[in-house]
Amino acid sequence: MKIVRGESLRKITPNTKYMGCAFYLDGLGYEDFVNVEFDNCSFRGIQLSLDLSNSTKKQIPKSVYSIPLEALNLNNNQISSIPKEIMRLTSLKYLHLRRNEISTISEETCQLASLVFLNLNFNQLREIPQEIGLLYSLRYLLLTFNQLTKVPQEIGLLSCLEELHLCNNQIVQIPEEIESLCSLKKLYLGSNRIKEFPKKIAQLSCLEELHLYYNRISQIPREIGQLSSLVYLCLNYNQVREIPPEIGLLSSLKQLYLSNNQISKIPEEIAQLSSLEELYLSNNKITNVPKKVGELCCLKELYLDSNNLNEFPKAISEIFSLEELHLQSNNIVEIPREISQLTNLKKLCLGYNNISQIPKEIAQISSLEDLDIQNNPISKIPKEIKNINIYLDHNQEKQLSKNIHKSVNIVIS
């Protein structure tokens, strides 16, 4: 092994022992730690970062702990445990351990007081240690795709936390202490086993995104209305039966996802969501749409497919901002002429209904690009309809194609 003493350097050479050297570095890689030792060396850099990702490593090179790293990337390796020596990296702010084989978060990891970002997605974690509460500087905690069954109360001590990712685990319940996460902006709890909507979440005044899809939640609490900063709410694939009227208090909400539930009624208060741009209510049991829905002045996308609608909701013709309308797989018989008022509409999906006639007024929607009418008993398409894509099934194509204007592009689904 080569020995270098007392020099100022900008790179590290493999198979070398450095003694009393000063390094000025911008970044480090795997090749910088092939049989290398450091003895009483100093390191400087804009941000000392080390990338050891995708190197099939099973352990961290010991020489790493001699450098005051700020960022360490160990993604996509075969690391099974985080070594005790990690605590020597007192300047570490970013620790990436995604896609490894780690089963426990060591106590030493929880002593990294400067840590801001911790990514342990796609590992084999079964629990979060109580010591997690010691990471007072932590702002991003990513623990998706593990085997976690619970969240410790100490999670509430992370007062700087802005994002908490816990999707795709086996979590049943969220501790009440979550209400103490006063800086939290994004909370990911999708694809777990949560049966009850955590009411204490309503205390998170900074929360902007809440992901609770693919759980077992049957009720949305009235407290939901307290989340005044909420922009995104997803409860797809649950067992929700009712939307509480307090939903109307979410004045910042832009995206609301409630598809694949058991909802039978839309509350009139939903019209108070003056910022709402996307509303997903697919695969529910909705039979009618209240007139107030026409007041959703910013709504661009509306999904009401696979419900129990017997008629085209007249209120929809008042949503002039609408760009996409999905009403397929209902029991709709007729399309009103007032649909021509939707002058911004680009996509209209009416497939799998009982519609026998398409009104020629649809041709007045100059913005329309896609019209899906497959699997309907339609005998004729007005010649006024031009320059769009029309989606038909095979039987319709045989019957209707001869009468369609030549500028129309027929798409067989």
Q: What is the mean pLDDT of residues 241-250?
A: 98
Q: What is the pLDDT of residue 46?
A: 53
- At residue 123's C-alpha, the angle toward residues 118 and 127, to 5°, is 80
Per-residue pLDDT band at 213 (split at 50, 70, 90): very high
What token pair was written down for 5?
Answer: 């003493």
Give the DSSP letter of residue 302.
Answer: E
- pTM of the shown model: 0.91
Residue 79 and residue 68: Cα distance in Å, rounded?
21
Mean pLDDT of 234-247: 98
- Burial pattern 370-404, b for ≥16 Cβ within 10 A else e, equals bbbbbbbebeebbeebeebebbbeeebbeebeeeb
Cα–Cα dist 203/195, whole Å: 19
CA distance linking residue 302 with residue 279, whole number of Å: 5
Q: How confident is the model at residue 403 (pLDDT cuts 50, 70, 90)?
A: confident
Backbone angles phi, psi at 363, to 5 degrees: -65, -20
CATH class of 287-413: alpha beta
Cβ atoms 50, 29 nearer than 8 A: yes
pLDDT in tens, 72-124: 999 999 999 998 999 999 999 999 999 999 999 999 999 999 999 999 999 99
Question: What pLDDT sits at residue 47?
Answer: 63
pLDDT digits (tens, 9 = 90+) for 154-193: 999 999 999 999 999 999 999 999 999 999 999 999 999 9
The length of the chain in residues reads 413
What are the Cα distances from residue 91, in Å, to 50, 70, 86, 138?
13, 5, 11, 13
Domain ranges of the chain: 1-124, 287-413
pLDDT classification of 18: cutoffs 50, 70, 90: confident
Model confidence at 36, pLDDT cuts 50, 70, 90, reads confident
Question: pLDDT digits over 325-382, tens only?
Answer: 999 999 999 999 999 999 999 999 999 999 999 999 999 999 999 999 999 999 888 9
- If you classify domain 1-124 with CATH, what class do you get? alpha beta
Highest mean predicted confidence (pLDDT) among 28-32, 64-68, 274-278, 385-389: 274-278
Q: Which long-range contacts (CB under 8 A, 24 or more apart) does 404-413 make?
A: 408/381, 413/351, 413/372, 413/374
CA distance 315 to 256: 19
Kindly report, residue by residue over 269-297, the tens digit of the pLDDT: 999 999 999 999 999 999 999 999 999 99
Give CA–CA dist 191/212, Å, rounded: 7
C-alpha 238/C-alpha 119 separation (Å) is 27
Residues 300-325 have a mean pLDDT of 97
Dist CA 242 CA 224 (whole Å)? 13
Give every CB contact of residue 62 below 8 A, 6+ residues apart in sequence. Answer: 85
Q: Give me 373's structure tokens.
A: 């009418």
Q: Do domains 1-124 and 287-413 have the same CATH topology?
A: yes
DSSP 350-387: --SS------GGGGG-TT--EEE--SS------TT--S
Alpha carbons 23 and 2: distance in angstroms, whole number: 17
Backbone angles phi, psi at 68, to 5 degrees: -75, 65
